[in-house]
Amino acid sequence: MKLLRILVLVALPLSCFAGSGCSFLEEVVNKTIDPQVSMDEYQNFLKPFSSGPESEQAIAELKQCFLSQSNETLRNAAAMMPMLYESRSCAAF
C-alpha cells in the first residue's frame, strides 16, 4: 500500500503538468504567433540559433508568415498549441 501511495505521489505532478515540457519551445511559439513582437525582436531572440544568412532569412520568412495573418487566425493558432501539447501524440514525450 505504501508503494502505491509513493507511485501516486510521484506520478501526480507529471500528470498535472501542462505544456510542451520545454518552456523555451513555448516561448518561441508564443513569440512567433504574437503580432506585438517585431521582426527585429524575433530575429534577435533566435539569433543564437542561427547558422548564417540562410537561416536568418528563414526565421524572417516564418515570422512574416504569421504577421500576415489576421488576429482571429493568430488567436486560433495560440489556442491550438495547448491542445497539441496535451494530445495523445505528444503524451509520450
Cβ neighbours around 48 below 10 Å, total: 6
In a domain, 6, yes or no: no
In a domain, 2, yes or no: no
> What is the overall mean pLDDT for the chain?
79
pLDDT in tens, 26-55: 898 899 999 999 999 999 999 998 888 998
Q: How far is CA 43 from CA 8, 25, 38, in A?
A: 43, 15, 9
Range of the domain at 74: 20-91
In a domain, 34, yes or no: yes
In a domain, 10, yes or no: no
Cβ neighbours around 63 below 10 Å, total: 24
For residue 29, which of 69, 85, 90 has the smallest C-alpha distance?
A: 85
In a domain, 69, yes or no: yes
In a domain, 1, yes or no: no
Write the CATH number for 29.
1.10.210
Domain count, the chain: 1
What's residue 44's pLDDT? 94
Least confident of 32-41, 52-61, 83-92: 83-92
The values of phi and psi at residue 21, to 5°, are 90, -5
What's residue 23's pLDDT? 82
In a domain, 36, yes or no: yes
